[in-house]
Amino acid sequence: MQGTIVQLNISPGGLPKRPVSGGFCTPLGIDGDQHAHPQIHGGPRKALLLIAAEVVEELQTAGYPVFFGAMGENLTTRGIDVRRLRIGDRLRAGGALIEITQPRGPCRALEIYGETLGRAIYDKQVKALDHTSPRWGMSGFYASVVEAGPIGVSDIIAVVAQLA
């Protein structure tokens, strides 16, 4: 399974994250990216947030005023079927190697795009790590950085090791 990074996003903290052409991915995320609530977001197990462009576009079609970076993702990807990703999967993203650690639980900050957005992208099954949920992958996935490296727009992102 392979796709591309269509947008790389950072922020001084909070939503939305804004596009940059490239950066360096460290064990704590992309250099220059900050978190408004570091006790909740960020850290080694939540260094990066990935969201599929296809999910953003599906939400736009449903009437949510989201855009790439709006939901706080660092990597907006295209071509990776997020419904097939599992916790523990490893992906090569540009020059970095990352590992999926958990689905993102939507925070209240996302309500700026609609009070029902959280329910549209996340449910009890996702919270229980049940990949059969129709919402699996829609809220995005946090990832740790196994190997640091450069990362940029148009870089390939590919699953290199899948657990299930």
Give per-residue pLDDT as tens, 99-147.
999 999 998 889 999 999 999 999 999 999 999 999 999 999 999 999 9
User: What residue spans define the domains of the chain?
Assistant: 2-161
pTM for this predicted structure? 0.93
Question: CATH number of the domain at 2-161, please?
Answer: 2.40.33.20
> What is the DSSP track for the chain?
-EEEEEEEEE-SSSSPPEEESEEEEETTEETT---S-TTTS-SGGGSEEEEEHHHHHHHHHTT----TTTT--SEEEES--GGG--TT-EEEETTEEEEEEEEPPPPGGGGGG-TTHHHHH--HHHHTT-TTSTTTTTT-EEEEEEE-EEEETT-EEEEEE---
